[in-house]
Structure formats: C-alpha cells, structure tokens
Chains A and B, each alone.
Chain A
C-alpha cells in the first residue's frame, strides 16, 4: 500500500512538472559522484529558475 501511494504521488508530481529531489540526488550519486549534493532548498530554487526562466510553459 505504501508503495502504491508513493507511485500515485509520483505521477501527480510529474504531471504537474514538480521537482523530484530524491531522483536528482540519486542521479548525482550515480553519474556525478564528485559534485556536491545541494540541499532540498537549493535544489528547489534552481528548479524554479530553470522552469520559469524563459520560454512559454503553458498554452492558450
């Protein structure tokens, strides 16, 4: 049950284009172990910058 609730929330997160901190730290750990891991707060700020930095994200 815990697994399925998590996967439902995961779908919700991705559909709305929300950031996924766990996935990002996992990516860093596997692919770039030399880089420092940002805090969740820092990660959220860089996400906001990249999502709303430029270009339209929504339609009419």
Chain B
C-alpha cells in the first residue's frame, strides 16, 4: 500500500513537471523542471513498462542458468554483480552521440529535444536495447549479425554486416569532424590531446612489459598525467614562442587524425588502443557524474526558448524541419541502433541472472537518455545568440564577431560582439565562432555550470577539461572503430580470396586498415573543406544510418518475439519500428530529393552545376562538390534500400510463422536449471 502511494506520488510529480513545461510561457525556465519531468517518467517506465516487457513479453526466468553461469571461463563469460555490470554496460554504450546530437537539435528550442529524448527512450531505445540484450543472452551472447542470420536467413545477415561496416565509416568521419572543429586553432586543446598519445604508450609498457597485467595502477597513473597535461596546456597556449607549434588548421588536424587512426589500427593493441580505452572510460564516467552533480547544484535557467523560429527548416546549424530532422539529429539518447551491437557483445556474457537484463538493458539506456538530457540543458542554458555564434557554420556568420553579431540579429537573437569575444577569452581561446559540431558549445555550457558549482575563475580550465574529455573518447572510438572496421572488411574480403581473411597476415592488415581509414578519411576531409562546415551534411547522414540500424535491430527483435510464440505482444517492437522508419525514411528522402539546395543533395548538386556554368565557381571545386553530393545521395539511398530489404526478409518470416507455414520456434540455447540459490 505504501509503495503504491509512493509510485502515485512519483507519477504525479512527473506529470506536474510536464504540465509546467507545457504551459510555461516566460522568458526563462529552470532546468529543474526538465530533470524532474524526465526522472519521473523514467522511474514509472522502468517500474511498470520494463517489468511488463521482462515478465510478459520476453518471459524472464530466473531458474534458467545464464551464459555467464553455464559457460563461465573467468575471462569473457564472467558472472558480474548487477551494479558493476550496469557501469560496464553504460560505459560501453555512452559515447559522443548523446552529447553532440541534443546540442545540435537545440536549434529547434529545448522542448522538441526533451520530448523525444524522454519518450523516445521509454518506448523505443530502451526497448530495443533490452530485447536485443535478452535475445543475445538466450543465445550464448551471439552478435546482432549472427542472430539476423539465424532467425531471418543468410541474406539478411550479410546485409546487416555490410550495413554495419558502412555505418561505421560515416560514424568515424563525423565524430572525427567534431574533434577537428573543437581543436582547430586551439593550441591548448591540441597540446593536451597530443599528450594523451605518449601517456597511453607509457601505460601500455607499464601493463605489458614492466608490471604485466597491473591495469588499475597504470590507469590511475595515466589519469594523473592527463590532468598534468591539461594544466600544462594553458602555459603552452599562453607562450608566444611555443603556441604556434600547436596552432593547427582544421585540415592539418584532419590529416593527423587520419594518420593516427591508421597507426592505431596496425600497432599491437597493448601499446595504444587498450590503455586509451581505459583512460577514456574513466574520464567518461567521471565527467558525466561531475556534470550531473553540477547541474543538480546550479540548476541553471534555460535561456533558449521552448521552440525557436528554426522549426520551419531555416536553421543555420543544420537544414530541415522539426519533423523529421529532430528525430534523426538526436539518435543516441532516444534510440541508437549502435547499441544493438554492444547489447549483443560483452554484456550478455556477464549477466548473473536473467532478470538483471531488465535493469542493465532497459535501465542502462534510461541512463544514457539522462546524459542526453543533461547535454541539452548545458546547451539550452547558453544565451541563444552565443549558441548560434558557436554552432552556425563559418559561411553565413562571416569571419569576425562584429559581422556574426549582425547576422545573428537578423535571425532574431541579440548578442553583442563584445560578449562573443570576451567569452572566447574567458575560456582561453582566440575565437569560438563557427565551431560547429556540438563539442565546443557543450564545453562552454559545462564550463559555466561546473565553474558555477565548483568555483568561478576556472572557466578556461573547465572548458579545456570538457574538450579533452570529449576529444579523448571520440578519438578512442575512432581507433577502436577503425580496428573493428578492419576486421569486418577482412572477414568480407576473406570470402573473395582466402588469405585476405587472415587477420594476422600483415599485408592484409595494412591493406584493410588503409581502406577503412581512406573511406572515413575521405568524408572527413570533404567535411573540413565544406564551406558549410560539414556537420551540416555528415551529421544527418550519421543520424539516418544509425536510426536505420535501429530499424534492423527492431526487425530482428520482432522476429524473435513472434517466433517465441508471443505475436500478440509484437507491438512493443513494431510501434517503435514504425516510428523510426517513418522519421528516418522521410528524412532520407528529403536529404536526397528536397528542392531546397540547403537540404537536398541533388538540388545542391544542380545549384553547383549552375554556378560552374555561370562562372561563379571554379570547375575543379565544382567537380569535387558535385561528386560529393552524388556520393552522399547514393550512400543515403543505399542505407534506405538495405534496411527495407532486411525489413522485407523479416516480414516474410513473420507472415510464414503467423500463417503457420513455419513453426514458431526461436533458436535459443537449451534450458539448464541454475545452480545458484534462489
């Protein structure tokens, strides 16, 4: 009775907070209302909806031994306490996605992003993560591709694998571009990030050569050195003789990142990749906790309106209307197809009992949604004029604060040139203009919140702390991603010519690494050269591909639910599948065919053609832009077609099972009674 009363109160508090958000029409609103509305919704959804999913739909059975128990080997199959595994799973799913997407989508105002982040996760993202985690746990930790192959057929499996590789290429390019935009002309940032490489190598030698296996002590030392590098960065930036060596243009950083990705992919993992992986995990978990604490302590007022005029599609950060572009710009945080890869990776091999999958799969994704919401708060508490000055591309803003302030006034927001320049000086940069990509504005927001909570006057240090934390784990995604892409490519190439499939054969390794790096490096360099800043075209491409991967995962999930004889509950994955397809296919269609050249790749291509003909653009530059527009359109179309094919193959299975032409039998591992005491 008491617990019912408590749940009624939680539900009421959440509903009241939503009411405040819906009815509020003032100048500013406190972030506390967003946090309260979100947390209330999460708690109710976790208590009621995720229990329904676990008990009724998937049929969690704690008498059934998990893979961690049956196959325990002390290495990857390790029964792990639920809170610890929650931390591990969260560290694996949360990356730059939930931090960047909501910041970009803040151009529509704070409300669209908030609604999609909170309700999207409850009915779509967390459902996907839980269903895939559960399915993989019932199949000894098989991957999404293997499950697609077994449940839907080899064709769908192969398609899923090629799609994952292609998505990886786009993901790596756009994340690298975020780093480039954050670090260009920033000696402090470049110096700190460069320092992470020797620090990681030092840790690698520590763990492998000097004190084998002592990973924890090596990591603690690494984190300490990292902080030292951060502080030293300020002196580098302030020294007129040293600073020029670390003041790099966007293009230079892009080529450096490409070279780094290649080297990291071919070096032994212990030297660079593994230590950086540890470092970025600690930084990520630590910083996110710090940001949460900061927001709770400061409770900033949101300067951004609920909706801006840019819902009509004229926004400078990225083109396109609220529907469908808010829903693909925020991918991670609401629903992210990439999670299906992690949920079918290490986590299912570590669950102690089946019911833990609910807390870790569904609960872990709720936590990521909360991170996305905090990123949104950090961006929305900035003055909208400042937000636009940082995030709008160079081309419309012009090169200096005076011109930028003028342009932003034209958009209906006021910001003085002095505000723009003094803010840059306060965070220790020469300029913040045109740093599109989300990372710098999030860092400014974080710096304001953290210095508000933990001592003013340290703005510059907090800003560069935030930049370092973002760049560190983005670059860790770039190096691990390149390596994974290399393995996938080698596996695919192995079907064509056997020796190419051997991951230990050096020529094959060099070739495959080179190809993967060249693929994302091409998109990255074009993004840097793009007059509109690249984020404009690459982020939607990433969002579309990530959401289409979610559609693939939800299709596989639906197939598994139907084959388990639970067709009456298939709506739990079919409803989010329908929504994700509706938004993503609309967005894909508009990106290819829209008549507005700011939005549609083909319309932009036609515009470039006219400019070449009229002599307004050089033929060489025009040819490059024409080719890129064609490439972007082709890639988008290929993602859409691949997803529809997987969907069709899945739908065929559904019909066959539902019309009883095929038995409703999912390919689970056989039941073994658990030996653990109930």
Contacts and interface: CB of A to CB of B under 8 A. Distances in A.
Nearest to A42: B212
Contacts of B331: 60
A52 B281 contact: no
Given A15-B285, A27-B72, A60 B278 contact: no
A28 B345 contact: no
Given A19-B213, A21-B213, A55-B484, A60 B270 contact: no
B95 A47 contact: no
Nearest to A40: B213
Given A16-B281, A24-B74, A46-B75, A54 B487 contact: yes
B208 interface: yes
A60 B549 CA distance: 13
A60 B274 contact: no
A44 B207 contact: yes
A46 B269 CA distance: 12
B432 interface: no
Nearest to B209: A41
A57 B216 contact: no
Contact of B546 (A18, A40, A52, A60): A60
Interface string A19-52: 1110110111001000000011101111110111
B342 interface: yes
A2 interface: no
A59 B84 contact: no
Given A11-B84, A50-B75, A57-B345, A18 B91 contact: no
Interface centre among A43, A50, A55, by most chain B C-beta atoms within 10 angstroms, is: A55
Interface size class of A (residues with CB under 8 A): 35 or more
Contacts of A21: 213
A41 B213 contact: yes
A16 B75 CA distance: 14
Interface in B299-344: 331-332, 336, 338-339, 341-342
A28 B75 CA distance: 11
Contacts of B213: 19, 21, 40-41, 43-44
A54 B85 CA distance: 21
Contacts of B278: 16, 18
B75 A55 contact: no
Given A13-B215, A27-B73, A52 B269 contact: yes
Interface centre among A16, A21, A52, by most chain B C-beta atoms within 10 angstroms, is: A16
A9 interface: yes
Contacts of A20: 74, 78
Given A19-B213, A48-B274, A11 B87 contact: yes
A44 B212 contact: yes
Contacts of B94: 59
B216 A18 contact: yes
Contacts of B226: none
B131 interface: no
Nearest to A18: B215
Main secondary structure of the interface of B (DSSP, over half): helix
A55 B672 CA distance: 27
A41 B95 CA distance: 31
A60 B175 CA distance: 8
Interface string B225-252: 0000000000000000000000000000
Contact of A55 (B97, B143, B282, B285): B143
B215 A59 contact: no
Contacts of A60: 95-97, 171, 175, 331-332, 336, 338, 477, 542, 546
B623 interface: no
A12 B277 CA distance: 13
Contacts of B477: 58-60
A50 B88 contact: no
Contacts of B168: 56
A56 B485 CA distance: 9
Contacts of B93: 59
B143 A52 contact: no
A59 B95 contact: yes
Interface in B470-484: 476-477, 480-481, 483-484
Nearest to A17: B88
A25 B48 CA distance: 42
A14 B476 contact: no
A57 B92 contact: yes
Nearest to B270: A48
B100 to A, nearest CB: 9
Interface string B281-302: 1100100000000000000000
B208 A44 contact: yes
B216 A9 contact: yes
Interface string B54-95: 000000000000000000111110101000110110011111
B327 to A, nearest CB: 16
B636 interface: no
8 contacts: A14-B85, A16-B282, A21-B213, A41-B213, A55-B484, A56-B342, A57-B480, A59-B342
Interface of B: 72-76, 78, 80, 84-85, 87-88, 91-97, 143, 168, 171, 175, 207-208, 212-213, 215-216, 219, 269-270, 273-274, 277-278, 281-282, 285, 331-332, 336, 338-339, 341-342, 345-346, 476-477, 480-481, 483-484, 487, 503, 542, 546
What are the 7 closest A-B residue pairs judged by CB atoms, nearest first? A27-B74, A41-B212, A60-B97, A24-B74, A15-B87, A40-B213, A44-B213
